[in-house]
Structures are given as structure tokens and as C-alpha cells.
Amino acid sequence: MKQNSADFNPGNDDVFRRIATRYDFLCDIFSFGIHRLWKRAMARTIAQNNTGIVLDIASGTGDIALRLTSKLPEGSTIIASDICQPMLDIAASKANTMTGPRANLDFQILDAHNLSKIPSASVDVYAISFAMKICERDLLLKEAVRVLRPGGRFYCLEASQIPLGWLHKTYLKYMEWCIPFIARIATGGDRSAHDYLLRGIHDMPDQLTFCAELETYGFKDVSYNNFSLGIVALHCAVKPKLGT
Ligand SMILES: C[S@@+](CC[C@H](N)C(=O)[O-])C[C@H]1O[C@@H](n2cnc3c(N)ncnc32)[C@H](O)[C@@H]1O
């Protein structure tokens, strides 16, 4: 099983710097706007079960972090982090337009593979959406386990597999034909902006394989919810309390 489903290396390709200003538009185009529902459901699930410090990894333009600010109680803190400054700049400018009571937002440049600025056992929630497929899962998951406090929760929203094999194959074929066509227009011909997406969708482990993988890192109570038939899944897991 490939560790980095999309073979993506931010050191080799600054695609997110190039597309930062168009990223939100591209999400709407690629998912027909449905990514908003998936992200709303993820934020709702996190807010229902948690308070304290939430570390949102690879926040991009802040879709999860900003949804959480109005849902978590005042006094909670959300660390919105990414490796790409232009993506975080957009998240920060969107945060500036928000009004009403909200949790604290702290923007930090962090590499998901090496969170040395985050102390061990210091965060209550680790959240990542649509970035697992472009990271080295082994490095990322070791860091996730390290920074979570015992009893802390892990959430991952990511492309997954429709359980009906024939339907999943049809979906992949549709994506292979449709995405490059739409993307060529939307990105002005920037191939890597959609190539990484297709590779990642193709090679992300399915729901149960990813559950089993999370367990090998010591997570317990691993579960998932399918969205849109399993095109996307939200995986949840708990870092065990000491002695359990
Ligand atoms: C597909 S976007 C997802 C953004 C956002 N979480 C969302 O759901 O829309 C992927 C993000 O991962 C970031 N990224 C890629 N590699 C990273 C790494 N090693 N550490 C932290 N962020 C990374 C990119 O800069 C980009 O903002």
C-alpha cells in the first residue's frame, strides 16, 4: 500500500501556492459544491464531542477551522496550520470577515510530517481534511499520535471507496474523463492541480483498510461514516488513555 497515495511532495511542486486564490472555486467545481456538506458534517461531528485545543492540519483556506470557530465554545482554541503560507493567508482573511462569538484561531505554518513545534500530548483533537492522500501517512500518523493527549480524538475526511465495486470503478472512470476536462479550463492548464487529486483518489486505502492501518498506530474505537455513497469517508479514532 502506497504511503503517499498521490505521490505528492510539496518540496517539488508548489501547486497550492499557484492555485491558492482559486482553491475554493476549484473545490466547488470538482465536487459540484458538495464538499461544503462533507466539511460541515465533519465540523459538526468534531464540535459535538470536543472542546479544548483542536489542531487542524493542512487547513488550506480554512474550511474546517473556520466552520469550527463558530461551533466550539469560547475558550477553545483551533490551530489552523498548513505548509503553504498563501493558503493560510486566505484562511486568515476569511476569518477577519467573521463576526459573533467564536473560539480562538491561531494560524501556524506546520509540516504534517514533523510537528516539532507542537508539544507531545498537548492537543485534544487532530483534524485533517483532504490532505491525507497527499502526505506520507506513516510520518503523519506517528506525529498525530504523539501530539494528541491520551483520550484525544483523531478525525480524517478523505476520498474513499464506494463499497459496490462496479460503481466505484464507474466513478473512477468518470473522474478520469471529467476532471481533466473541467480542470483544464478551471486551472488554465495547470496539470498538477488535478493530477495529484486523481492519483490520490485512486490509491487511498478503502475504509476498512484505513481503519486497520489506524489501529496499527495504537488508535482505538476506530470508526468511519460514508458520505455520498463512500466517495468520501470521515474516519474517527481515539488515542487510548494511559492504562487502557
Ligand atoms: C487539498 S488541500 C486541503 C485543504 C483543506 N483542508 C480542505 O479540506 O479544503 C491540501 C492542503 O494540504 C497542504 N499540505 C500539503 N502537504 C502538507 C504537509 N506536508 N504539511 C502540511 N500541509 C500540507 C497544502 O498546502 C494544501 O493547503
Return the residue matching grid coordinates 500518523: 141
CA of 62 to the centre of ligand 1 (A): 10
How many beta carbons lie within 10 A of that of residue 146, not counting itself? 17
CB atoms within 10 A of CB 208: 12
Query: Is the pLDDT reported for residue 94 higher than 80?
Result: yes
The pLDDT value recorded for residue 42 is: 98
Query: Does position 57 have pLDDT exceeding 70, yes or no?
Result: yes
Residue type, 43: A
116 band by pLDDT with thresholds 50, 70 and 90: very high
**Ligand 1 interacting residues, C-beta cut-off 6 A:** 10, 16, 27, 58-60, 63-64, 82-84, 87, 111-113, 129-131, 134-135
Cα–Cα–Cα angle for 106, 15, 118, nearest 5°? 30
Distance CA 97, CA 207 (A): 37
For residue 180, give the nearest of 188, 191, 169 by alpha carbon: 191
Looking at ligand 1, which atom is closest to the CA of residue 84? Answer: 25
pLDDT band at 99 (very low <50, low <70, confident <90, very high): confident
> Which atom of ligand 1 is closest in space to residue 136's alpha carbon?
19
Architecture of the domain defined by 15-238: 3-Layer(aba) Sandwich (3.40)
Which ligand 1 atom is at minimum distance from the Cα of 59? 6
pLDDT in tens, 18-42: 889 989 988 998 889 999 999 999 9
Q: Does residue 187 register a pLDDT over 70?
A: no
Q: Which of 16-25, 43-52, 60-69 has the highest mean pLDDT?
A: 60-69
- The model's pLDDT over 124-167, given as tens digits with 9 standing for 90+, comes to 999 999 999 999 999 999 999 999 999 999 999 999 999 999 99
Cα–Cα dist 233/207, whole Å: 7
CA of 238 to the centre of ligand 1 (A): 22
First to last CA, the chain: 30
Q: List the one residue out of 196, 219, 65 whose CA is nearest residue 127.
A: 65
Helix (H) or strand (E) holding 233: strand 232-238
Mean pLDDT, residues 65-86: 95
Note the pLDDT of residue 30: 83
Q: How far is the CA of 53 from the centre of ligand 1 (A)?
A: 20
pLDDT over 80 (residue 193): no
CA distances from 191 to 84, 106, 113, 129, 181 (A): 19, 33, 25, 22, 10
Extents of the domains making up the chain: 15-238
Angle at 186 between CA 41 and CA 43, to 5 degrees: 10
Cα(16) to centroid(ligand 1), Å: 8
